[in-house]
Amino acid sequence: MTTHLVWLRNDLRINDNSALAAACRDNNAEVLALFIATPGQWQQHDMAAKQAAFLHQNLCLLQASLADRGIKLHYHQCDDFAASVDYLETFCQQHNIDALYYNYQYEINERERDAAAEKRLDARGVICQGFDDSLLLPPGSVQTGSNSMFKVFTPFSKAFVRRLHQGLPECHHAPKAREGAPFSIREKIPAFDYPLEEFDTSLFPPGEEAALTQLRHFARQHVAHYPERRDMPAMDGTSRLSPYLAIGVLSPRQCLHRILKEHPEALNGGSAFQWLNELIWREFYRHLLVAFPALCKHQPFIAWTHKVPWQKNEAHFKAWQQGQTGYPIVDAAMRQMNTLGWMHNRLRMITASFLVKDLLIDWHDGERYFMQKLLDGDLAANNGGWQWAASTGTDAAPYFRIFNPTTQGERFDKDGTFIRQWLPELKEVPDSDIHQPHLWAQKNNRKLDYPAPIVEHKAARKKTLEAFERARSAA
């Protein structure tokens, strides 16, 4: 009998899992699964404690789902990727593995790890098969007329949609139960040797069924109103599927097919396409990682922005982290992330712009802090978003486009509903004054238990423009 091994990483599902489906095609083969935790590597990559807890709970549920189908999930913990390759080689030798199946990861450390693993196993006669699983279309498959990677999103999106019109990527069914299924789990997955922090399971219940239920609910009830609600943080207008996509509890193909099932014309425009276009942004940033590996090393895409004289102001950075800047929409957003491990996308843009353009603090510091907090932490999306806000990346906002945090609050949380949810100290401030509460307090001779603005936006904007212009001129 041959023995197949599925090496699981950020693909914690049995439905539409390319590697798992391929490993199970031979009904006569024994199929094993393996997950290797690497807390030392996670620490280097700034994985959030909440995301680690979310990953662990989903891994435990996956173990049970695999057991129901007669597939044993083996677990091992070692420090880093190098040690994981050593263990994988040993495991394959001990269990007489004939073929290894895995889904590609596109970050540079992960690609180097996989190349090393294939080299070692190939020398031992183990057949290795990798799959483009976490994307709708493989990196390099959507290119310009000159066969290069797009550097601007809109033409990428148009070309991407044309490819989808030519043929949709297929979803794989969950594997059928194998001989001996189901079986009892004798050893449950132990807690990782890594900080674990509780997350809100009512907002982000773990497991594939929960993810698919949320997807169906969003596709049927909310996607039609997505364009007008997506930027309003007080409304339940977004899908909240990003944590599931980040660790592969849900696949982008499942998202695409579900939306098209409910809205067959979604690829031709309309409300549903607005949401699908967010999936294409996700693809764009991942394709860029492969085309420009320096992005994995946190290099700015626009070279001259290396010369921007970022400020080292620990007091300002701490105020931003803690939601104590004196700008209500910024502070409410940061407190939301610190509490939930999640932040509304419009607020991610506002808070990032404030750190870089109002405080002139290096975007790398903000990028790292977000990764340390986010339940949906993902290098490609996080780096792409921060470089967009900092005007250092491909298709970034021009450096002279600077969000005014007060007017952003007035536009997207007019009556302060979201702000009051996270800043209870402003509960008595009237709607008309909620975005500049200190002016109200001063006018009414009231005291607020809330900090004054740490910078004046107009002056900060002028300083930032001068800094960017000097950097560009110097280059």
Task: Give the SS3 label for residue 94.
Answer: helix
pLDDT at 140: 95
Residue 393 labeled ligand binder:
no
pLDDT at 1: 83
Of 142, 67, 138, 147, whose CA–CA distance to 104 is shortest?
138
Residue 285 labeled ligand binder:
yes
Domain boundaries, the chain: 3-131, 135-169+207-291, 303-474
Q: Quick one: tokens of 354?
A: 């404030």
pLDDT at 324: 98
Cα–Cα distance between 266 and 279 in angstroms, integer? 13
Residue 241 labeled ligand binder:
yes
Tell me which of 320, 363, 388, 440 is the catalytic residue: 363
Instruction: Summarize pLDDT for 405-441 with one digit per residue, the tens.
Output: 999 999 999 999 999 999 999 999 999 999 999 999 9
Residue 347 labeled ligand binder:
no
pLDDT at 453: 97
pLDDT at 397: 78
Catalytic annotation on 304?
Answer: no
The reported pTM is 0.96
Catalytic annotation on 422?
Answer: no
Instruction: Summarize pLDDT for 198-228 with one digit per residue, the tens.
Output: 999 999 999 999 999 999 999 999 999 999 9
Residue 275 labeled ligand binder:
yes
Tell me which of 386, 388, 422, 440 is the catalytic residue: 386
Residue 456 labeled ligand binder:
no
pLDDT at 153: 96
User: Which parts of the chain have pLDDT scores under 50?
Assistant: none
Of 380, 416, 394, 446, whose CA–CA distance to 45 is shortest?
380
Q: Which helix (H) or strand (E) holds 40?
A: helix 39-44
pLDDT at 365: 98
Residue 284 labeled ligand binder:
yes
Quick check: 39 and 193 in contact, CB under 8 A? yes
Task: Sort 452 into a burial class: Cβ within 10 Å, 0-12 / 13-18 / 19+.
Answer: exposed
pLDDT at 475: 80
Q: Using the structure block, give the residue that is written with the tokens 């491990």.
A: 341
Quick check: 11 and 106 in contact, CB under 8 A? no
Radius of gyration, alpha carbons of the chain: 24
Q: Quick one: tokens of 459?
A: 């002056």
- The answer to whether domain 3-131 has CATH 3.40.50.620 is yes
Catalytic annotation on 42?
Answer: no
Instruction: Summarize pLDDT for 224-281 with one digit per residue, the tens.
Output: 999 999 999 999 999 999 999 999 999 999 999 999 999 999 999 999 999 999 999 9
Residue 259 labeled ligand binder:
no
pLDDT at 399: 87
pLDDT at 447: 92
Considering the domain 135-169+207-291 in this protein, what is its CATH number?
1.25.40.80
The CATH H-level (homologous superfamily) assignment of domain 303-474 is: DNA Cyclobutane Dipyrimidine Photolyase, subunit A, domain 3 (1.10.579.10)
Q: Which helix (H) or strand (E) holds 8?
A: strand 3-8
pLDDT at 427: 94
Quick check: 197 and 51 in contact, CB under 8 A? no
Residue 362 labeled ligand binder:
no
Cα–Cα distance between 317 and 319 in angstroms, integer? 5
pLDDT at 294: 95
Tell me which of 109, 197, 310, 313 is the catalytic residue: 310
Tell me which of 278, 304, 313, 338 is the catalytic residue: 278
Cα–Cα distance between 470 and 475 in angstroms, integer? 9
Tell me which of 281, 320, 388, 440 is the catalytic residue: 281
Residue 11 labeled ligand binder:
no
Around 396, how many Cα atoms within 13 Å sit in the side-chain half-sphere?
23
Helices 345-353 and 405-412 pack at an angle, to 10 degrees, of 170
Cα–Cα distance between 13 and 65 in angstroms, integer? 9
Q: Using the structure block, give the residue that is written with the tokens 């808070």.
A: 351
Catalytic annotation on 281?
Answer: yes
